[in-house]
Structure 1
């Protein structure tokens, strides 16, 4: 289907932007509408407030049209979390939900404490999985229309049949406006406007069916949700009729105007046409990923607007750094990189992404064992500083004298970063990991040289270490050269600060060491840990760089006795608080 040029021309996001699943840059139309309303507010007169407040009605009318309902069944919201908390506070019985959902769709059910939570097993929320989980006590099933990690698009129509007369609660933020879904099958549809709708923050709505209005108690209902809200007679009035009963207070009318403008643009472009254009871009991006040796790990059959991928042998953090250097914006998670294009995403953006992956692939260094005759057979080669230095490592160690070890690390090969080593002071070899100290520095982006600090070898000997970070032509750290000396063997002298670090021989040892230290730092045995303690362990390990190690999430989940999805939820919460 053809998208009107009048729709496309209003969007001007930067070339390289592929992160609409996190935030959708608003259109020029939204910007201009917001500016006009702000200007109107600055010259406030007798009718200004009433005039601005009418934009809320306009927004709700557009929302109702797009979800196939009417304005008696929709209510404005500032975000999805507010709506889901309202529903959780008003529901009794049992709710079925996946622990792998975005936290906005798990926290309300636990925090509200009214309905018992029946957690689904790991995997997509399919009709079969839901059917197997239903019990006589189940009163609701809560699901995301599109999974935020994998892009899996839930089969809402089939879920409706499985759920039967129970309530079907749908978080539509990752699909509304770009995925053509039968939204009316949902008893509760909660949508935020800051992502795919491209309305900016503090915009959204909730649609409730007659069944939901009958069964849910509007506990979190404010004065604007009461009968006769404008009658200030000192009494607390009964709740109003329809979805209006779920109103908490007046929302920002300028945000409502922006939301109305954005929704009307969706109507202009057409949801089906917008979705088809996004699908085309996803196909193009997928071809680029696979052509560069990457692997698409997200849903393919029932796909929303999300594609996640990995580059085997390259940590997602390193892939993300390469994308940033090329001017590509994406979401980087410990387990993969997520791309979310929109209908306005240009072929030039796809080309920029392709160029970034080509450079990443070309930049992957040769793996050199200085004890062997030459490069490992079949290893990729690049002409850069790492390739130039690798053959000199043995000679440098020899020139520096007895008791000296020289190590060359490739940061794109984390955690198995040692590509050349000579000297044997720490007992490591090619393919081994970097130290815990260096891993933490790389994770925090603190790639500053560390000259002359004291630490200890695995056998307890005091050694003097120096680390120099190696950078490419853009100034991005791509590796580091480390020199370790044993002062007692005549390899060095002088004073330095004490920075104790470990020299693990393999990744498993490094992983175990980091986790044991984090648990010790929290100070509570794992068997006695509460959620706050486990979250703190994850925070410590995130700072330490544990999640740069492949499969570390599964390992930590086993140690803490939780699911891998719980670890991801902790990470999302922690990084959200830190503004990452």
Structure 2
């Protein structure tokens, strides 16, 4: 793995708000779209200049991607040869759905993000069962083939009891798929004993959209069918560009999707920064701000960096936007998120915008 380009930022020197995100004041939408650090902006600008000047090369992009793969492995607590790269999380989930035996029972969260659910529904002949998040472990039975859920729910910010769900799945012999797109970057996700962990990096990791990754267990490596196999799925992509043979890497690279190079130029810098952080400290900071905002709204404290509350007419979202704050609305609820670039001033501005 490449040596960090950010030696000044380690477990003992995390500062909030992080000065490498100068545009973060009033930005409460990391759960929708992260904003880039200065290093990420510089990496993207440098890549565009080199592309313009005709000096970029596929070999250089491959080196960038492999460094990014290493940082993704760190964030998910996986061996690098068990990490695949792609452009969208739903593509990785779709591989799991396409690999399911006909009629297999799949348990998902009722109201989870569509990318975690739709591929199983689109399969057409799977027994898809929807369960409330707080009863997900109970819904796993000996007939369950796979249980899939987002670690942090997009609409509400609720955090799944991953340990209990995984324990139930292991007892039933079921596979476990976890989407950490709304978690990786603000909380540690390197201790999940799952078979498939999927993450898109454009939210809390603040990478350009178009950079996603997946970690797989040995069992998943054996059972998933690499239906998206292409020239980049071989052990050496440059030796697997043409048929007639099928070239598949021994490890998770067999699930690689040909990378969107420009996105990964920025993602390498973003993932390197995230992998260098003390994510327990980040979680403490983010949740502390979220709970301070919840207190102003007379909401109970939570373990989540996302604050969500009913806003069926969109009035609160409109008030936040009118005050110059970036927020979002999902499923009839207003939603704000606190991250590296926020501090107590952002909490106060948001609360005052709502008359609190």
TM-score surpassing 0.5? yes
Count of residue pairs the alignment pairs up: 341
Q: Residues 156, 334 of structure 1: CA spacing in aligned structure 2 closer, same or farther, 3 A cutoff?
A: closer
Task: Give per-residue Cα distances to partners, 1:342-368, cap 9 Å, x unaligned.
Answer: 12112222221122122xx7xxxxxxx
Task: Give per-residue Cα distances to partners, 1:130-183, cap 9 Å, x unaligned.
Answer: 343233331110011101122121122222211013210001100012112454
User: Equivalent residues in 2 for 1:547-562 (5 A)?
Assistant: none
Residues 205 and 270 in structure 2, CA contact (< 8 A), matched pair in contact too: yes
Partner of 1:139: 145
Partner of 2:110: 99
Residues 317 and 333 in structure 1, CA contact (< 8 A), matched pair in contact too: no
Partner of 1:66: 75
User: Equivalent residues in 2 for 1:96-135 (5 A)?
Assistant: 96-113=107-124, 115-120=126-131, 123-124=132-133, 126=134, 129-135=135-141
1:44 pairs with 2:35? no
1:77 & 1:84 partners in 2: Cα distance?
12
1:160 pairs with 2:170? no
Q: Residues 6, 310 of structure 1: CA spacing in aligned structure 2 closer, same or farther, 3 A cutoff?
A: closer
Q: Give the deviation of 1:238 after TM superposition.
A: 4.0
SS at match of 2:44: helix
Q: Give the deviation of 1:325 after TM superposition.
A: 1.3
For structure 1, list consecutive stretches of 5 or more residues without a partner in the other structure. 362-580
Q: Give the deviation of 1:2 after TM superposition.
A: 5.7
User: Equivalent residues in 2 for 1:411-422 (5 A)?
Assistant: none
1:345 & 1:354 partners in 2: Cα distance?
14
Task: Give per-residue Cα distances to partners, 1:253-297, cap 9 Å, x unaligned.
Answer: 23112112111111333211111110111121112212xxxx56x
Q: Which structure has the greater CA radius of gyration?
A: 1
Residues 71 and 271 in structure 2, CA contact (< 8 A), matched pair in contact too: yes
Runs of 4+ in 1 over 3 A off after TM superposition: 181-184, 226-229, 231-234
2:189 & 2:232 partners in 1: Cα distance?
31
Task: Give per-residue Cα distances to partners, 1:522-557, cap 9 Å, x unaligned.
Answer: xxxxxxxxxxxxxxxxxxxxxxxxxxxxxxxxxxxx
User: Equivalent residues in 2 for 1:505-520 (5 A)?
Assistant: none
Q: Residues 22, 78 of structure 1: CA spacing in aligned structure 2 closer, same or farther, 3 A cutoff?
A: same
User: Equivalent residues in 2 for 1:471-510 (5 A)?
Assistant: none
1:285 pairs with 2:293? yes
Q: Residues 130, 5 of structure 1: CA spacing in aligned structure 2 closer, same or farther, 3 A cutoff?
A: closer
Task: Give per-residue Cα distances to partners, 1:318-340, cap 9 Å, x unaligned.
Answer: 22221111112211246321111
Residues 105 and 145 in structure 2, CA contact (< 8 A), matched pair in contact too: yes
Task: Give per-residue Cα distances to partners, 1:48-106, cap 9 Å, x unaligned.
Answer: 33112211000000111121111110011212112111221122222111231011111
Task: Give per-residue Cα distances to partners, 1:418-440, cap 9 Å, x unaligned.
Answer: xxxxxxxxxxxxxxxxxxxxxxx
Q: Give the deviation of 1:112 after TM superposition.
A: 2.5
Task: Give per-residue Cα distances to partners, 1:438-457, cap 9 Å, x unaligned.
Answer: xxxxxxxxxxxxxxxxxxxx
1:322 pairs with 2:332? no
1:196 pairs with 2:204? yes
1:343 & 1:263 partners in 2: Cα distance?
14
Residues 40 and 48 in structure 1, CA contact (< 8 A), matched pair in contact too: no
TM-score, structure 1 as length reference: 0.56
User: Equivalent residues in 2 for 1:425-436 (5 A)?
Assistant: none
1:265 pairs with 2:259? no
1:82 pairs with 2:91? yes
Q: Residues 77, 304 of structure 1: CA spacing in aligned structure 2 closer, same or farther, 3 A cutoff?
A: farther
For structure 2, list consecutive stretches of 5 or more residues without a partner in the other structure. 1-10
1:276 & 1:64 partners in 2: Cα distance?
23
